[in-house]
Amino acid sequence: MRLPHLEHPDRYAGLYVVDFGQTCSVGYTAEEVAMLLESEDYADAKVYRIAGARPDGTLELIGVPRGIFELETGLFFYRRDLPAARGDFDDLRRLAEPGLPCRAQLLLAALPEGARLRYVVGLAYPAEFDRDVSGWMLDRDVSLGEYADGGVGRLETIRRLAGVIDSAQLRAGPARRARRREEVLAAVGQAVQRTA
């Protein structure tokens, strides 16, 4: 795989390289990669996440299994009482207003009667963004709830057991928003998909 020369390669960290076999393209978002993999023409493409760039411009790539683009995961923060959980919900919503690393659903929910920490604030997002969302939270020193957990299985459990009290759709920051499917498919031949 021969990668194109990039101006400011360090700005591409967190984006993806897609190897189509004869050609490859740099600079896809995870949502755009998912669009490509859903397409019959590109279902067999190989995908790599750009973990970073060295001073000489060499990209550090990590292979990403196709199945990760089909999963959703989440982070959850638990409270004993609803007013404290509502405060966590509002704080996280306000913090995310400038944009998250990806689109996400924020929810405030109640677990069944008898749960010790009955109220939960959750953030559900595509699994391929797990590192990005965790890093975003660490960078902002987010500290919510009395207890926290997360994962694909936990998201499924919360969705099955909890009653949603409130929810909000959160957007990705402008620099990492996905293009429309038509734009992504039309630009497949371009070696560099975006200027980072």
Which string of DSSP letters, residue by residue, matches 72-111?
A: EEEEEEEESSHHHHHHHHHHHHHHTTT-BSS-EEEEEEEP
Residue 148 lies in a domain: yes
Are residues 171 and 182 both part of a single domain? no
> Contact at 8 Å (CB) between 37 and 45?
yes
Question: Which residue from 69, 72, 109, 73 is spatially nearest to 89, judged by alpha carbons?
Answer: 109
> Contact at 8 Å (CB) between 117 and 78?
yes
Residue 4 lies in a domain: no
Percent of the chain clearing pLDDT 90 (strictly above) = 66
Residue 106 lies in a domain: yes
Residue 192 lies in a domain: no
Are residues 88 and 169 both part of a single domain? yes
Q: How far is CA 94 from CA 121, 137, 145, 148, in A?
A: 14, 13, 16, 19
pLDDT of res. 19: 95
Question: Confidence band (pLDDT; 50, 70, 90) for 196?
Answer: low
116-172 residue pLDDT tens: 999 999 999 999 888 889 999 999 999 999 999 999 999 999 999 999 999 999 988
Are residues 83 and 54 both part of a single domain? no
Q: Is the pLDDT of residue 191 over 90?
A: yes
Are residues 78 and 56 both part of a single domain? no
Are residues 32 and 93 both part of a single domain? no
Interatomic CA distance for residues 32 and 184, integer angstroms: 7
pLDDT of res. 49: 93
Q: Is the pLDDT of residue 55 over 80?
A: no
Are residues 142 and 163 both part of a single domain? yes
In this structure, what CATH number is given to the domain that contains residue 167? 3.30.70
pLDDT of res. 131: 86
